[in-house]
Structure 1
């Protein structure tokens, strides 16, 4: 175990606007920021080291979520989801986190154009999910992996908090 990381102050859930879209996007952005913060200053090689028997590691979670963002909101096809759980060895922690943040920014630009949560996510050729479904799915997916990230980061250096 590396030197103990400073304890982060817990960030309370977001205060969002009164609309359904503002609430969904507020919670998704809250979770996205939490995931990025867990990985951004994590030490090598521990950030790539499996913390559980399944092989899950902190940087791999961020890399995976990058692919999920791109697939869900940008229509990027993924042929091997299992492979997305391993970040490329040549990429630094900062590069993987930056790529995640770029995917989030691109997804948010798409969402900024969506005024009807019941409409399909644009740019998917009529085959995409509704915006409401996509947002709900991303909250579920990001929330699930944010919990994993919490545990993995604590195993790495004792870092806790959001």
Structure 2
């Protein structure tokens, strides 16, 4: 996925709301991946703030979020899926995140109406429209991309996408 300097995605223009939302979500997903892609595992696992948040944990958390909101993981599974194992490599975390986003993208591609209520919350997540879920994941991913920007800058001064 290209990442233009002016933040306009490939879907900029009259491609439809669903395509624009999917492109924004994909753009933020790649921003997160780019923040950890070249880091040694120990560095990615190091907490950069007193709360214990690390770049590796952000990837793990977003993977679980994708599976909760799009894939139907239960809340209990989401909590378990969010726990970072010290032995998980950056490569494994990124590969699992990519798998989760591909699974999500397949579900998104099947949504023909963003106003449709995704009325299957046996997983205990809140009932919501497809649009709301897309917006929620864009916001969640963008929020954590900002955290990743700060953590990465603290590690080695790297800034930008």
Q: What TM-score range do you get, normalising by the shorter chain?
A: 0.7 to 0.9
Whether the aligned pair in 2 keeps the contact of 1:61 and 1:145 (CA below 8 Å) is yes
5 Å-filtered alignment, 1:47-62, equals: 47-62=44-59
1:99 counterpart residue number: 96
**CA displacement at 1:81 relative to structure 2:** 5.9
5 Å-filtered alignment, 1:2-151, equals: 11-13=5-7, 14-16=9-11, 17-18=13-14, 19-79=16-76, 86-121=83-118, 124=121, 128-151=127-150
SS in 1 for 2:84: coil
**CA displacement at 1:142 relative to structure 2:** 0.3
Q: Which moved more, 1:106-115 or 1:20-29?
A: 20-29
Unaligned runs of 5+ in 2: none
Q: Distance in 2 between matches of 1:47 and 1:131?
A: 33
Unaligned runs of 5+ in 1: 1-8
Matched residues, number: 154
SS in 2 for 1:118: coil
Q: Give the TM-score, by structure 2 length.
A: 0.85
SS in 1 for 2:142: helix
1:5 counterpart residue number: none
**Superimposed CA distance per residue, residues 2-53 of structure 1 (whole angstroms, 9 cap, x where no aligned partner):** xxxxxxx974321415211111111111000100111121123121111111
SS in 1 for 2:88: coil
Whether the aligned pair in 2 keeps the contact of 1:10 and 1:161 (CA below 8 Å) is no
Task: Give RMSD over aligned pairs.
Answer: 2.4
Q: Which has the higher contact order (CA 8 A, sep 6+)?
A: 1
Q: Give the TM-score, by structure 1 length.
A: 0.85
